Amino acid sequence: MNALAATNRNFRLAARLLGLDSKLEKSLLIPFREIKVVECTIPQDDGTLATFVGFRVQHDNARGPMKGGIRYHPEVEHDEVNALAQLMTWKTAVANIPYGGAKGGIGCDPGELSTSELERLTRVFTQKIHELIGIHTDVPAPDMGTGPQTMAWILDEYSKFHGYSPAVVTGKPTDLGGSLGRDAATGRGVVFATEALLNDHGKAISGQKFVIQGFGNVGSWAARLIHEKGGKIVAVSDATGAIKNRNGIDIPSLLNHVKENKGINGFHGGDSLDPELILVEDCDILIPAALGGIINRENANDIKAKFIIEAANHPTDPEADEILSKKGVVILPDIYANSGGVTVSYFEWVQNLQGFLWDEKKVNNELKTYMTKAFKDVKKMCQSHNCDLRMGAFTLGVNRVARATVTRGYGRGWEA
């Protein structure tokens, strides 16, 4: 089951639990707008012309401006982007921040383009969509293949048409109004979410054994913070390889190695491990922090973790969900667990609108407050509807969006 089918399935289950009207259910599922083909033609450094296709899916704006990343990737798959835009709608509602969901990007390989070519491409794309994004309409952010510099180019190009507008994107460099603490936000949010879950089970991070699949921004920050809190990380992996150490990996040394060597491969503080087997390593807590769909019916029965924290988007497919549930594994779903990034993006947007910069301590304290409150809200929905954490999160998010939709008057005539 692909990401869109799984997301639609979870939405419909949540809608059924909430008893939503069928017309309202259909309205919530259909994207607000899909910008499917935006041709971006640029001169390359060698003087030839190249054309790339950009797109943007704007899913819902009932609770506020739409929010979601822009990715640069050669094989951008429309259904996946549609699913991620929808997930952002439910995710922002679970976090209780005033946004809806969006997602988009350009079909290109950023590794094959020079910095000047990437800048030209970004500026042309912005020229094509500047009337469809905005500080109170749709606020993009970085995603796969993009980063703070990409957001800086979008901000600059957008400002040529609309005046200086730092709040039009988040994830910017701090020199242009980016928030302190944004780089660590998703990983830090994962750790706050993990603490909330463990506390609910009478446990703490200290002394627990962790496996982290994926050691990019999210996985590496989660590892750093878990290590600082006394957690024992016994295995990690990235695109270059995987390692394990039953006594616990020296995370500060690993971070230095990755910085110098651009990957885990070659680190001598543990034994080499087949990356395909990392998910079934013995541990208390498994954190998938890379690709979607990596936990499936082929490996679910072999997973030994008692808790799974979904730092990645859609890492567990529905069949694996059922298998793991029968085994008693507790899964903390992605639309809550990895919402720290968009929450601090919201803080950045607020700071830009106010023209007032928060210090990093305030950012981190506010993030913990939001993550802790969201977990309590999810648990209340679990109790109300006698469901697991995934359905608790989905019913929470869908219910908040449905209530906003009806309250704004979108539902007039649905009863007929």
CA torsion through residues 1, 292, 400, 396, sign: positive
> Which residues have CB under 8 Å from 297's CB, separation 6+?
317, 319, 320, 323
Cβ atoms 265, 287 nearer than 8 A = no
Extract the tokens encoding 130.
């500047």
Residue 2 DSSP one-character state: -
Extract the tokens encoding 74.
């050669």
Residues 366, 372: Cα–Cα separation, whole Å: 10
For 98-115, give one letter per residue: b (16+ CB within 10 A) or e. Answer: ebbbbbbbbbbebeebee
Concatenated DSSP letters of 361-385: HHHHHHHHHHHHHHHHHHHHHHHHH
Sort 333 into a burial class: Cβ within 10 Å, 0-12 / 13-18 / 19+. buried
Location of structure tokens 């921040």: 97
Is 103 among the catalytic positions?
yes
Comparing C-alpha atoms, which of 320, 311, 304 is closest to residue 288? 311
Per the rule left: phi > 0, alpha: psi between -120 and 50, beta: everything else, 54 is beta
91, 103, 209, 244: the catalytic one is 103
Total residue count of the chain as it appears in this document: 416
Rg of the Cα atoms in the chain: 21
Cβ atoms 339, 91 nearer than 8 A = yes
Catalytic site positions:
103
